C-alpha cells in the first residue's frame, strides 16, 4: 500500500514464502510501480524478509522493520490487512490464487473511495499524482 495515494499492489508468491523467493517476487512487483511512489517498505519481523538487503540493492528501496508485537508502528499495513480480509479470510489457502486473482482484488480496493483521500479512489489519486508531475 502506497501511503500518498493509497494505491495497492499485491505480491504473488506462487513460488513460496522462502526469503529468497519473497525477495524476487517483491522486486518484480515493486518494479511495476513508478519509482516516485516507492521510497521504503515497512515490514514486521517475519523470516520471509531475511533477504531484505538483496531486495534493497536490487530496487533502491529501504526496508524498515517494526518492533515485535508493535502493530501501531505500521498502521497502514494493519488497515490494509483488514481490507484484504474482506476478500481473503483468515485460514484461506492462498496457494490457489493466481496473479489475475490478486490483480482483481487490488483493482477492487484501488477503485474504492477512501475518506482519508477526500472520498477519492486510490486509482484516481494515483492518476492525479502523475498528472501533476508531468
| 129 pLDDT above the threshold of 90 | no
* Domain covering 19-133 assigned CATH 3.90.1150.10 in the classification: no
The DSSP code sequence of 11-31 is PP-TT-SSHHHHHHHHHHHHT
For the stretch 52-60, contacts whose Cβ atoms lie closer than 8 Å and that sit 24 or more positions apart, written own/partner, are: 52/23, 54/20, 54/23, 55/23, 55/26, 55/27, 55/30, 58/23, 58/27, 59/26, 59/27, 59/30, 59/31, 60/35
The answer, as to whether pTM is greater than 0.75, is yes
> Which pLDDT score, from 0 to 100, does residue 77 have?
84
Instruction: List the domain boundaries for the chain.
Output: 19-133
Question: pLDDT tens, 89-117?
Answer: 999 988 889 989 999 999 999 999 999 99
> Which pLDDT score, from 0 to 100, does residue 34 have?
79
Amino acid at each position: 500500500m502506497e501511503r500518498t495515494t493509497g494505491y495497492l499492489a499485491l505480491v504473488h508468491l506462487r513460488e513460496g514464502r522462502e526469503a529468497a523467493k519473497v525477495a524476487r517476487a517483491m522486486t518484480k512487483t515493486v518494479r511495476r510501480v513508478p519509482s516516485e511512489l516507492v521510497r521504503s517498505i515497512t515490514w514486521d519481523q517475519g523470516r520471509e524478509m531475511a533477504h531484505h538487503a538483496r531486495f534493497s540493492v536490487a530496487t533502491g528501496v529501504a526496508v524498515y522493520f517494526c518492533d515485535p508485537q508493535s502493530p501501531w508502528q505500521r498502521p497502514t499495513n494493519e488497515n490494509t490487512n483488514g481490507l484484504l480480509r474482506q476478500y481473503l479470510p483468515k485460514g484461506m489457502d492462498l496457494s490457489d490464487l493466481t496473479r489475475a486473482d490478486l490483480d482483481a482484488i487490488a483493482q477492487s480496493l484501488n477503485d474504492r473511495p477512501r475518506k482519508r483521500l477526500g472520498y477519492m479512489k486510490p486509482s484516481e489519486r494515483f492518476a492525479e499524482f502523475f498528472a501533476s508531475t508531468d
